Structure 1
Amino acid sequence: MSKPFKTVWARDQRPAKASPGLSRDQIVRAALDLLDAEGIDGLSMRKLGAKLSAGATSVYWYVANKDELLELAYDEIWGEMTTPDPALVGWRHCGSAFAHSMRQAMLAHPWAASLIGRMPALGPNALGVTNRMREGFMLAGFEGLEVDYAVGTLTAYVFGMTIPEVSYNAYLEESQPDQEEVMAAITKAAAAYPDMLDRIKATHRLDPRAMREMSFDFGLSSVLDGLEARLVT
């Protein structure tokens, strides 16, 4: 038996209170601060009210529950993504700017990674970004469902590369493993693969953030090359 589908975007926004008090924007901004500092488990209506020096009643005027609050905060993340006009910069530049900015937004707000796939991206920022990307792929020459497939392919690449990076960053922050011990373990485990081990040792000495950025850019160029190749076949 199906269950009702509920989302904050499906109902009319409540008007601001007539008396001086909090605005929805203030509430969402405070929620973002809490989420960035403590993650999803650290967000509660009680903590939010305390941060705002207001009672929970003021918060509940605008949001019915924590899920609605997360939806609003999640859409703010989409508002940080860059989608230049493809008619001015070309579809590839638009797609590249979107992909890099989506990655940066996820790294800046790691809690958002856990919402992907389980929370609808139906807010105005998310829909605006998605629509701009659809415009770009239509400008490139994709038609019909292939427009949506192209958007999905690019987005899936960003998610696939960035979600493990978010998890790994969290692991490093929590565990802070000794890097010499890490390399000793890798050396032992990969002893039967000398060429692979040489590459691991060579890259281990490089700036890991720069390496991940270069890896992301390499894969992104490959994805865009593949999409472009479909247009000429």
Structure 2
Amino acid sequence: MSSSEQQTLAPVPSVWTRPRRRKEQPALSQEQIVAAAVRLLDAEGIEALSMRKLGAEMGTAATSLYRHVANKDELIELVVDEVYGELELPAADGPGEKWREALAQCGHSLRAMVLRHPWVASVLGQVGLAHLGPNLIRMSERLLGLSVSAGFPAGEADLAVKAVISYVIGATTSEASYLSLLARSGKSEKEWLESLLPAAEAALEDHPVVKDHAYSRHVQDPARLRDENFDYGLQRVLDGLAVRLGRD
């Protein structure tokens, strides 16, 4: 077999395809490393993550981490799957209108997870074989079950789930980026928006429709407004799925 053929047959590098070690070092475990990495990411963001810094945070050398995690890419796969384990996923109870409420709950739970861990939004397209992680598999199993119980045929159930997830991730990625910027400002959301008001008024002076709309929203609670904005879009996606099923 040629070297090019060997490269073709080589497995995709991923923590989920690498053989597990039979014995863990007693003083350190993969679970401890992942938990520490999540804490570091939550506190300082994806830019701060390195094996050396993580080792220092844990009071050990980076070489100790490599006994449990091959590299930073594997670590990112692990932390992404870890936070997906926080999702609240209702069970499929059979056909009926409960499918919509259950999918909405899943959507809100996914949004809440991303906003708790804003760094997730920046790595979702860089996590290799993330779909092989146990928590992501559990999410896929539950969401597909809900979609099938709603009445979607097997070939379409996956597409219905992807439509919901695509909306949630798209909307929440922008929101997470906004909240990260807000956190760096050191201001509350209301203070941040108040500080931008003069510039916004000047920019919208010649755009009365947008200006009136922006002002009407400015006087509302910004966190509640973000909740309402997200739910509005999610409900419209679910409206489309309901129509597809032939329901009101």
With the length of structure 1 as denominator, give the TM-score of the two structures.
0.91
State the AA in 2 paired with 1:155.
I
Q: Deviations over 1:65-100 (max 9, x none)?
A: 011011000001110111110217932122111110
State the AA in 2 paired with 1:138.
V
Moved segments of 4+, more than 3 Å? 1-4, 175-181
* Distance in 2, Cα, partners of 1:20 & 1:7: 24
2:6 pairs with 1:6:
no
Q: 1:186 Cα deviation (Å)? A: 1.9
2:151 pairs with 1:141:
yes
Residue 100 of structure 1: aligned partner: 108
The structure-2 alpha-carbon separation of the partners of 1:8 and 1:182, relative to structure 1 and needing over 3 Å to count, comes to: same
2:215 pairs with 1:205:
no
1:67 to 60, 70, 73: 73
2:199 pairs with 1:191:
no
Q: Deviations over 1:8-48 (max 9, x none)?
A: 0012322343x631111111101111111111221111122
* Distance in 2, Cα, partners of 1:56 & 1:178: 39
2:219 pairs with 1:219:
no
Query: What CA RMSD, in Å, does the superposition of the two structures yield over aligned residues?
Result: 2.1
Give 5+ residue unaligned stretches, structure 2. Answer: none
2:176 pairs with 1:150:
no
Q: How many residues align?
A: 232
* Distance in 2, Cα, partners of 1:224 & 1:70: 31
Q: 1:203 Cα deviation (Å)? A: 1.2
With 190-199 and 30-39 compared, the bigger mean Cα shift is at 190-199
* Distance in 2, Cα, partners of 1:95 & 1:179: 32
Give 5+ residue unaligned stretches, structure 1. Answer: none
Residue 111 of structure 1: aligned partner: 119
With 49-58 and 145-154 compared, the bigger mean Cα shift is at 49-58
The structure-2 alpha-carbon separation of the partners of 1:159 and 1:178, relative to structure 1 and needing over 3 Å to count, comes to: closer
Report the 3-state secondary structure (helix = DSSP H, G, I; strand = E; otherwise coil) of the residue aligned with 1:203.
Answer: helix
* Distance in 2, Cα, partners of 1:230 & 1:131: 22
